[in-house]
Homo-oligomer: A and B are copies of this chain.
Amino acid sequence: MTLFCRHTSASLLIHENAAPAAQRDTEAFFARLAPEGADYEHDDEGPDDMPAHLRTALTATQLSIPVMNGRLILGTWQGIFLFEHRAGPHVREIALHLVGE
């Protein structure tokens, strides 16, 4: 099954699914790694615009996950997340494509 995120300021992430603290650490890490206010040339949509593109480039726009016996073969701790990189809420579209019998 292929998931494809149709955006340049949100991405897909397979991440630890059990510990909310891990999710908060990951959000904080990417906020430090590609911060707002770093003197970007591009800021058409505000200070969170360019950091969102960078965090998207550093993570995944697409994931293909094998299916076995009708289920994704995710590992025990893996969850699939939509990673929103803009400061405010946005409606996002993810395309799902299932290939096989």
Contact = CB atoms under 8 A, between A and B. Distances in A.
A13 B8 CA distance: 10
B21 A42 contact: yes
| Chain A interface main SS type | mixed
A72 B19 CA distance: 36
Nearest to A41: B21
Interface in A23-37: 24-26, 29-30, 33-34
A26 B8 CA distance: 12
Contacts of A15: 8, 53, 56-57
Contact of A63 (B6, B40, B62): B62
A100 B76 CA distance: 28
A53 B14 CA distance: 10
Contact of A50 (B25, B40, B41): B25
Q: Would you list the 8 A-B pairs with minimal beta carbon distance, nearest first?
A: A6-B75, A66-B97, A21-B42, A22-B42, A21-B41, A8-B16, A14-B61, A25-B40
